[in-house]
Amino acid sequence: MNELQFYDKIKNWDFSMINHTKESLTKWDLYELLNLYAGKECKILDLGTGGGEKVLKYFPECREILATDLSNQMIKTAKENLKKSGRKNITFRQMDNLNMNTQKEYFDIVVARNTCIDANQIYKTLKVGGKLLLRGVDKLDCWSLKLLFNKGQAFNDDKPISIIDYENIINAGFKQVELVPIHVREYYKTRDDLFALLMKAPILVDFSEENSDIDANIIIDNEKIDKYIMENTTDKGILLIRRYYGITGVKY
């Protein structure tokens, strides 16, 4: 199973049924920034949209939103979610982020969430003055859990994806580029809630930015997960320490 097959199997990116709470230790919110920057005539491109849940819930009413994903199954789910929402300004379309077929200098904002990017192609599709907003999962995300299982997303990468993206965005020509480490504590109510997350998100999958030869199968060792739960249960729930990153940049 490769990365595309993994996401085709998942089909959606909706975590709302998983009972958990969050504590953000970092004041950086992608959707707050997006709604701050986006005007009524704004055209937005969303990369890595999954099943469209975040776009439908958090993206502003504006002139146009094109939301894309590599997985046809994810886009199928997104279109079904769009019908239920009643929103009219959003189009969902299958597209490879590394082989973008969008118009040059067309979008005012490009949003990329938990997905691979080609910074040069994003730069070309943005208007002059356009903004890039990126949020990703960094190498040290759920690190104690990855250490226990001796595997996981970016576990064997020498350079964190945050640094790779940051350098590529600067090299593409973006200015005012900022990289912000995002620290979040998540608390899962039950073992089943934590297990549901691990079966849906590639936390314990060996996705790598440096090696395309991956094993995308999720195999959970019950003894190890029970050991983790025993050592990380708090009065708020089962603790996962998350490490994300945010990057902003402007095209001049």
Q: What is the dihedral of CA 4, 9, 184, 182, to 10 degrees?
A: 10
**DSSP labels for 13-45?**
---TTS-EEEEE-S---HHHHHHHH--TT-EEE
Q: Are 238 and 194 in contact (CB under 8 A)?
A: yes
Q: How many domains does the chain have?
A: 1
Sign of the C-alpha dihedral computed for residues 186, 220, 155 and 150 taken in this order: positive
Q: Which residues of the chain have pLDDT under 50?
A: 1
pTM: 0.89
Domain range for 10 is 3-250
> Tokens 């958090």 identify what position?
58
- pLDDT digits over 48-81, tens only? 999 999 999 999 999 999 999 999 999 999 999 9
CATH number of the structural domain spanning residue 196: 3.40.50.150
Give me the pLDDT at residue 4, please. Answer: 53
- CA-to-CA separations, 80 to 53, 75, 76, 91, in angstroms, rounded: 11, 9, 6, 12
